[in-house]
C-alpha cells in the first residue's frame, strides 16, 4: 500500500510521480507506538543493503593491495572514507523521506535533459563498474572453493538473477534478512582469520592516524582513491534514497522527522560494521603479506594461496573463499536494486527486473571474459582495482547534486539539512574532487 502523496514544495519542476521499486514502496510496516527499540527495529534493514556496497569484491582487491604494499598506513583512508559515507548516506535518508524522491528522480525533476542524461550515463557506468567487480569476485570465489575455471565462473554469475527473483517473491524483508545473514558469515570468517594472523595492534591503532605520505606517493594515492571508490560508492547514494521509502512511515512532518532519525541510525550502525570488515581485510593483508615481505599481493587468488603457509592453517583460505563468495552474492542484490532505481528514476522507464539485471550483467561479463581469456587470471586483480578507481571518478556526479538538493529549503521544506551537515557534506565533496583531480594530474604527468 502506498501512502498518500505529501504536499509538494515549490523547488521541484514536476509533481512527485510513480516511485521507483513500486512493488516494494511502503511495503514494510513501522511501529507508530512503543519503545525506541521497537521503532528502530522496523527501520533496520536498508542500511545493511547499503553497507554491502562498502565491502564488495572490488574493495577486497584494493584493501589487499593497500595492506600488502603499505602495511597498516591506509587504515586512515578506510576510516576517512567511512566517515564520509555516514555523512552522505544521512543526506540520502533525508532526501528519500523528506522530499519523497530518490536521487535519480530528484535529478530528473531539477535539471534539464542535457544535464540529467549525462548524469544518468555516469550512474550507469558506476553500476557497470560495480557489477564488473562482483562478476570477477564471485567467479574467483567459485574457483577457490570448487575449482571452477574463471571463464566458466564468470558465465555462471549470469544465473544470479534467479536469486533476486526468488527473494523478491517473498517480500523485501526477506531480501534484508538474506543480506544480514551473509554479512554475519563474512564477519565471522574474518574474525577467525584475524585471530590466526595475530596483528600488531599498536601498529593497527597508529594506522588510523592520517599521514602526509598519502599525497607524496602516487602509488599510495592511487590505492587510496581505489579504497575511496570502493567505500563511498556512487550507486549507493541512489540505492539508499530509494530503499528508505520501503518503510510505511506516514506523511506528517513529525512522522517523517522520526523516519529520518531512525533511518540515519540504521545506516550509521551498518556502516560501522562495514568499517570493521573493511579494516579487517586490510589488517589481514598487512599482518600476513606485508609482514612476510610480500608487498605486491593484489590478486584474490594470490591471497588465498598465501594464507595457509603464512598462517599455518588450512582453514584460513577456506574462510577467505567463503567470505568472498558471500560478498559477491550480496553485492548482486544491491547492484540489481540500484540499477532499477537509476533507470526508473532518471528515465521514468520501467522494465522487468530480470531483464534489467541481465542487461547490466551481460555488459559486465564481456570485459571480464575478455580479460580472463586474453591476459589470464593474473590481470583480474588489476581490473578490480581499476573498477574501483572508475567508481571514485564517478562520485562527484552523484555527490554534488545530493548536497545541492538537501541544502535547498525550496526543495526540502522543513526537512532541509542543517547547516553543519551541509558544511560537512560540502567538505566531503571538495575532498573527493580534489583527490580525483590529483590522481588525473599524476596520471597524465607520468
Kindly indicate the confidence band of residue 5, based on its pLDDT and cuts at 50, 70 and 90: very low
Query: Exposed (0-12), middle (13-18) or buried (19+): which is 308, by Cβ within 10 Å?
Result: middle
pLDDT for residue 175 is more than 80: yes
Instruction: Say what the pLDDT of residue 20 is.
Output: 76
Domains (range + CATH), the chain: 35-444 (1.20.1740.10)
Kindly indicate the confidence band of residue 24, based on its pLDDT and cuts at 50, 70 and 90: confident
Instruction: Say what the pLDDT of residue 444 is.
Output: 64
Distance of CA 182 to the CA centre of its chain: 15
Instruction: Say what the pLDDT of residue 161 is.
Output: 64
Contacts of 378 (CB under 8 A, 6+ apart): 299
pLDDT for residue 75 is more than 90: yes
- Residue bearing the bigger pLDDT, 151 or 7: 151
Cα angle at 407 between 404 and 410, to 5 degrees?
100
Instruction: Say what the pLDDT of residue 368 is.
Output: 67
pLDDT for residue 385 is more than 70: no
Count CB atoms within 10 A of the CB of residue 153: 23
**pLDDT by residue (tens digit) across 273-302?**
989 988 998 999 999 988 888 877 766 777
Distance (Å) of CA 210 to CA 80, 205, 206, 233: 9, 11, 9, 22
**pLDDT by residue (tens digit) across 400-417?**
999 999 999 999 999 999
In 3D space, the residue among 28, 36, 115, 60 whose CA is nearest the CA of residue 274 turns out to be: 60
Cα angle at 174 between 168 and 175, to 5 degrees?
65
Q: What are phi and psi of 28, to 5 degrees?
A: -110, 120
344 close to 20: Cβ distance less than 8 angstroms: yes
**pLDDT by residue (tens digit) across 40-52?**
999 999 999 998 8
pLDDT for residue 341 is more than 50: yes
Contacts of 377 (CB under 8 A, 6+ apart): 150, 299, 301
Average pLDDT for the chain: 83
Instruction: Say what the pLDDT of residue 305 is.
Output: 78
Amino acid at each position: 500500500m502506498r501512502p498518500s502523496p505529501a504536499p509538494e514544495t515549490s523547488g521541484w519542476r514536476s509533481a512527485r510521480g510513480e516511485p521507483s521499486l513500486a512493488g516494494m514502496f511502503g511495503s514494510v510496516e513501522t511501529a507508530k507506538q512503543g519503545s525506541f527499540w521497537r521503532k528502530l527495529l522496523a527501520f533496520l534493514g536498508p542500511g545493511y543493503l547499503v553497507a554491502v556496497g562498502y565491502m564488495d569484491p572490488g574493495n577486497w582487491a584494493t584493501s589487499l593491495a593497500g595492506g600488502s604494499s603499505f602495511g597498516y598506513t591506509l587504515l586512515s583512508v578506510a576510516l576517512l572514507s567511512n566517515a564520509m559515507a555516514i555523512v552522505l548516506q544521512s543526506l540520502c535518508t533525508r532526501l528519500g523521506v523528506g522530499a519523497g524522491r530518490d536521487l535519480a528522480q530528484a535529478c530528473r525533476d531539477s535539471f534539464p535533459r542535457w544535464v540529467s542524461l549525462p548524469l544518468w550515463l555516469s550512474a550507469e557506468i558506476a553500476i557497470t563498474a560495480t557489477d564488473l567487480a562482483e562478476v570477477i569476485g564471485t567467479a574467483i570465489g567459485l574457483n577457490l572453493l570448487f575449482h571452477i575455471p574463471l571463464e566458466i565462473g564468470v558465465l555462471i554469475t549470469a544465473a544470479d538473477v534467479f536469486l533476486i527473483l526468488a527473494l523478491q517473491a517473498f517480500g523485501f524483508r526477506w531480501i534484508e534478512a538474506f543480506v544480514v545473514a551473509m554479512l554475519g558469515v563474512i564477519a565471522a570468517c574474518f574474525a577467525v582469520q584475524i585471530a590466526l594472523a595475530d596483528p600488531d595492534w599498536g601498529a593497527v591503532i597508529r594506522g588510523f592516524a592520517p599521514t602526509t605520505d598519502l599525497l607524496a606517493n602516487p602509488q599510495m594515492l592511487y590505492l587510496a582513491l581505489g579504497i575511496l571508490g570502493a567505500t563511498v560508492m556512487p550507486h549507493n547514494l541512489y540505492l539508499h534514497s530509494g530503499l528508505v521509502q520501503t518503510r510505511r512511515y506516514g506523511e506528517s512532518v513529525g512522522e517523517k522527522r522520526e523516519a529520518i532519525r531512525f533511518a540515519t541510525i540504521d545506516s550509521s550502525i551498518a556502516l560501522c560494521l562495514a568499517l570493521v570488515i573493511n579494516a579487517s581485510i586490510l589488517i589481514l593483508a598487512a599482518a600476513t603479506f606485508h609482514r612476510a615481505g610480500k608487498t605486491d599481493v593484489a590478486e584474490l587468488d594470490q591471497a588465498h594461496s598465501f594464507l595457509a603457509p603464512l598462517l599455518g592453517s588450512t582453514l584460513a583460505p577456506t574462510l577467505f573463499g567463503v567470505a568472498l563468495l558471500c560478498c559477491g552474492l550480496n553485492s548482486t542484490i544491491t547492484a540489481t536494486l540500484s540499477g532499477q532505481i537509476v533507470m526508473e528514476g532518471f528515465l521514468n522507464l520501467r522494465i522487468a527486473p530480470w531483464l534489467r539485471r541481465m542487461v547490466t550483467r551481460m555488459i559486465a561479463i564481456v570485459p571480464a571474459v575478455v580479460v580472463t581469456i586474453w591476459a589470464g587470471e593474473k590481470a583480474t586483480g588489476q581490473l578490480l582495482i581499476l573498477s574501483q578507481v572508475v567508481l571514485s571518478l564517478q562520485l562527484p556526479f552523484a555527490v554534488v547534486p545530493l548536497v545541492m538538493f538537501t541544502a535547498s529549503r525550496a526543495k526540502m521544506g522543513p526537512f532541509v539539512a542543517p547547516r553543519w551537515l551541509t558544511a560537512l557534506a560540502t567538505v566531503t565533496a571538495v575532498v573527493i574532487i580534489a583527490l580525483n583531480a590529483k590522481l588525473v594530474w599524476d596520471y597524465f604527468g607520468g
